[in-house]
Structure 1
Amino acid sequence: MIKRRQFLGCLTAFGGSYLLTACGGGSSDGIGSAAGAVANNATNGAAVGNAVANAASPASANGTSLPSASSIIDNSGNVWTLSGGVVYRNGAVAGVNYNVALALWYSGTVYHENTAGQFYSWNGSGWSACLDPRTAGISADGATIPSGSVLIDKLGRKWTVSGGVIYRDGAVVGINYNVALLLWYGGIMWHKNTSGQFYAWTDAAGWLASTDPCTPVAATAGSFFGVNGHWDFTYTPAQIVSILTSMGCKSYRVGCTNDPQQLAAVTKLAAAFQAAGMTLLVLINQGMTDANGNVLSSESVAYNQGYMVASAVANALKQYGVTMYECGNELTRQNSTIMNFTEAGTKAVDFNNANWPSMRGVMRGMIDGVKSVQPNAKCGINFCVADVGASDALWEGMQPDGSRGYPQVRWDITTWHNYEVYGDIFNIGTDGAGPGIDLPTYCKARYGVPFMITEWNTGPEQTQAYRANYITTQLGNFYNARKTHNIQSVMYYVLDSGNSTYGIMINGAPLSAPYAAFTGFTASHADV
């Protein structure tokens, strides 16, 4: 869990700016670029200071833009300027912004557009992604061609169909033909061809095969409410079963390797869960580096390592009714795999091309190792933030550089980690700040397997009252989607963190507010 905590800490250190990392077009060094722009425009502050001093009280005319105007005056008399691709407010950089091509005053709000065409609105303290306010609004969710003639996405792009071909802003978009239906659903554009095959549009990889995203799918009932634990907890297996029962949980996620001490502890836990009729999801916690921290030297070496560890774990646990395994923990979010931790992971190029084969190899090895012992076991691969660039590349046998023809990674369960700082999983930002997508809907249609949220929580800095409210809200969101999005389980992180940062209890004593919120929800919402 160290990498996750490091990532969360990194995001917290940015003071919430993570959700604005793409304000300048998604550059991985955007904050540095903004700082550079400030240094290169030392005279800008003095110029704006004069403008402030000379500013008249009336606001600028509606529709005033930079360029061609030299400044914008808002309703409060603040003076806005644009210099070196950076927006200034009264001589100071306005929030996190860079690579700005246009600043706009429209209907009482200041907007800017970056060089990638994304608009942002000023909310008083920062920038929020939005559409061009001068254009028509987004199409209604579920809108189609036919019956309409134009669909508008969250970036304001206009989609049309002519002669069975899809056009976006007048240009053919990707390779498509024989199109019978164009659908806007869950923040994603989909099409169905005359043979009945659906495809999802991704800006990173083009059209990818899917099923109908509108079809509701209910996951198997009975294991929806869950929680995370660790193999080295001081609680006995019987105590854990008792605690989970009192919490209204029937599923539990715990990690181990083939280390004898770890495996012995998890084996005892599995026996207790089997006797209690409860579900144990075992995380096979094999990484993609050796004992010295070096990335495993090749895909085949990584595959063999993953196979050896996973087959040993499955062989020890199969007699105790364990049938679900998560193969690796946050492997797409290691220093060796993600190029920039502030990227949302929606593009394959967000990931390290050189180390990709080792990650793919260890994932494949773990899946095959489990299946060699338990052919009918279910294996999951987990992702974080909005890592559909990674999940699609693995599923399709692609490298981050776009090359194809490599071994495909095919899992039985899609598992995801969704901490508050990552965003709403049902509307998660596709570039960390930009227009959101309904991630479980996308995964349901793309991969056709159950979906699990195997870690979720708010940040470690939050108060217990805040955490309690977050638990109630999130469980409500998850629960309402369980019958349509194929969400099989949501597992709170964590039972006991030894303090109040993540855990719901300490040494067996409940943290009153979050524990009451969790148990109150499970008591009033049946897992059926």
Structure 2
Amino acid sequence: MKLRLMVLIVLLVTVGATVTAHFESTRNRDDPKRPPVSTTVRVPFYGVNGHYVQGGVYATNIAQQVADMRAMGITSIRQDCYSIADTAKMASLVSSFAPVKIQPVFNVFPTTTDETTAYNQFYAYGRTVAGQLAGKVAVIELMNEPENMYFTKGPRYSGQNVTDWSASNSQWAAFRGAVRGFYAGFRAVDTTMQTLITSPSVGWLHYGMLKGLWNGEAPDGSSGHPRATWDITNYHWYHDFGDIEDAGGVNTLAAIKSAFNLPIMLTEIGVQKNVSGSVYNSYVASSFAKYASKAKTYDIIGVDWYELYNFQKIDGFYMGLYSSPGVVNTGRASAMASAVAANPAP
């Protein structure tokens, strides 16, 4: 799973999935008398990952980046942000990337262990970021892979239960407060839900972390805590994880659909370990065919390939569809273009 960089088709039209649903705010979940807010937001279905704020190949030649994405039928680019200065930069780049949509990730974690302090800090962040981006982007993500980037100890078992993170229980309250605070702060400004907010992204079978947030449960087994909420459940899945519908006998898509009954975005899919070109290209084709065909079954509204350009080399392997702007990695870009063309966005 990627974006560990701080610690670590040809279709010429914009495709997207229209999401029309009733989404509940945190207040609505806690107050059944308050009616849910209804919104219609157009979320691009096919996207890629980028790293503009980290510099390098992604920070130059935006026009060529847009041309490369459009040549493959890609309509959004996921951008990691590590501060409100980064999200302000994303706001300033919306027109530069158009018609490709920017999909920011607010990848900031608590620096406290106190829930109230974290809530207040992230409430302020949410208000600020909403002022910058509400209505300019369809979706904003909150926190990338906290199980890798925030929690100091991994789960004892598979991660399907929040109690699997019992060794990191001291970090949980602040994490919960941050998620709750950001959502509430953003919604205090963006009251009509011009921009939707995803859950923190997790991968493999780590959805127990999200269930704990959603149900007001903690890794120490306690319950009755304030509940976090979001508009879209965010997940990551890579080639080496196997079949997302049969991971060690677990249908992960069915599990997260059942747990939250919300639309699902897979904001990182791809090949993260050294494989042959034929295996890489085959996975492009098979994964896009699967997610497009299963979109209605599980309410999948977007998938983002990791990544557009060669950026981080892991064990001698680059994941990019292109090696650099305008320069394709042999076979990969054409495989993506063919996959998108063969599997129209739902």
Does structure 2 retain, via aligned residues, the 8 Å contact 1:231–1:265?
no
Match of 1:345 in 2: 159
Q: Secondary structure at the match of 1:227?
A: strand
Q: Secondary structure at the match of 2:170?
A: coil
Per-residue deviation, residues 168-223 of structure 1 (Å, max 9, x unmatched) = xxxxxxxxxxxxxxxxxxxxxxxxxxxxxxxxxxxxxxxxxxxxxxxxxxx98862
Match of 2:70 in 1: 245
Match of 1:336 in 2: 151
Is structure 2 residue 44 aligned with structure 1 residue 228?
no
Larger radius of gyration: 1
Is structure 2 residue 339 aligned with structure 1 residue 521?
yes
Q: What amino acid maps onto 2:210 in structure 1?
A: S
Match of 2:29 in 1: none
Q: Secondary structure at the match of 2:273?
A: coil
Distance 1:253 1:403 in 2: 35
Does structure 1 retain, via aligned residues, the 8 Å contact 2:310–2:324?
no
Q: Secondary structure at the match of 1:355?
A: helix
Distance 1:287 1:335 in 2: 7
Q: Secondary structure at the match of 2:104?
A: strand
Aligned pair in 2 of structure 1 residues 6, 385: CA closer, same or farther (>3 Å)?
Answer: farther
Distance 2:65 2:216 in 1: 40
Q: What amino acid maps onto 2:144 in structure 1?
A: N
Alpha-carbon distance, 1:231 to partner: 2.2
Equivalent residue in structure 2 for 1:413, among 225, 229, 232: 232
Residues 291-306 of structure 1 aligned to structure 2 (within 5 Å): 296-306=112-122
Alpha-carbon distance, 1:396 to partner: 0.5
Is structure 2 residue 329 aligned with structure 1 residue 511?
yes
Is structure 2 residue 303 aligned with structure 1 residue 490?
yes
Q: What amino acid maps onto 1:526 in structure 2?
A: P
Distance 1:6 1:421 in 2: 22
Match of 2:137 in 1: 322
Is structure 2 residue 245 aligned with structure 1 residue 426?
yes
Is structure 2 residue 93 aligned with structure 1 residue 269?
yes
Aligned pair in 2 of structure 1 residues 257, 369: CA closer, same or farther (>3 Å)?
Answer: farther
Q: What amino acid maps onto 1:364 in structure 2?
A: R
Match of 1:311 in 2: 127
Does structure 2 retain, via aligned residues, the 8 Å contact 1:465–1:514?
no
Alpha-carbon distance, 1:4 to partner: 8.5
Is structure 2 residue 180 aligned with structure 1 residue 392?
no
Distance 1:311 1:462 in 2: 43
Distance 1:220 1:369 in 2: 20
Does structure 2 retain, via aligned residues, the 8 Å contact 1:247–1:519?
yes
Does structure 1 retain, via aligned residues, the 8 Å contact 2:142–2:197?
yes
Q: What amino acid maps onto 1:503 in structure 2?
A: G
Match of 2:183 in 1: 367
Match of 2:11 in 1: none
Is structure 2 residue 276 aligned with structure 1 residue 452?
no
Aligned pair in 2 of structure 1 residues 344, 458: CA closer, same or farther (>3 Å)?
Answer: farther
Alpha-carbon distance, 1:268 to partner: 3.0
Higher RCO (CA < 8 A, seq sep 6+): 2
User: Whose helix proportion is higher, 1 or 2?
Assistant: 2
- The normalised TM-score by structure 2 is 0.79
Q: Secondary structure at the match of 2:256?
A: helix
Does structure 1 retain, via aligned residues, the 8 Å contact 2:147–2:154?
no
Match of 2:107 in 1: 285
Q: What amino acid maps onto 2:258 in structure 1?
A: A
Distance 2:125 2:82 in 1: 7
Per-residue deviation, residues 108-154 of structure 1 (Å, max 9, x unmatched) = xxxxxxxxxxxxxxxxxxxxxxxxxxxxxxxxxxxxxxxxxxxxxxx
Unaligned runs of 5+ in 1: 8-218, 290-295, 430-435
Alpha-carbon distance, 1:366 to partner: 1.6
Aligned pair in 2 of structure 1 residues 350, 398: CA closer, same or farther (>3 Å)?
Answer: same
Distance 1:239 1:297 in 2: 44
Distance 1:348 1:264 in 2: 34
Distance 1:423 1:308 in 2: 40
Aligned pair in 2 of structure 1 residues 409, 348: CA closer, same or farther (>3 Å)?
Answer: same
Aligned pair in 2 of structure 1 residues 323, 473: CA closer, same or farther (>3 Å)?
Answer: closer
Alpha-carbon distance, 1:298 to partner: 0.6
Aligned pair in 2 of structure 1 residues 344, 333: CA closer, same or farther (>3 Å)?
Answer: farther
Does structure 1 retain, via aligned residues, the 8 Å contact 2:91–2:133?
yes
Distance 1:449 1:4 in 2: 29
Distance 1:380 1:457 in 2: 20
Q: Secondary structure at the match of 1:502?
A: coil
Distance 1:335 1:318 in 2: 26
Per-residue deviation, residues 444-487 of structure 1 (Å, max 9, x unmatched) = 23212110100011223223332112211211221211121100
Aligned pair in 2 of structure 1 residues 315, 238: CA closer, same or farther (>3 Å)?
Answer: farther
Residues 143-182 of structure 1 aligned to structure 2 (within 5 Å): none
Distance 2:109 2:130 in 1: 17
Identity %: 27
Q: What amino acid maps onto 1:368 in structure 2?
A: A
Match of 1:292 in 2: none
Aligned pair in 2 of structure 1 residues 245, 3: CA closer, same or farther (>3 Å)?
Answer: closer
Distance 2:243 2:268 in 1: 14
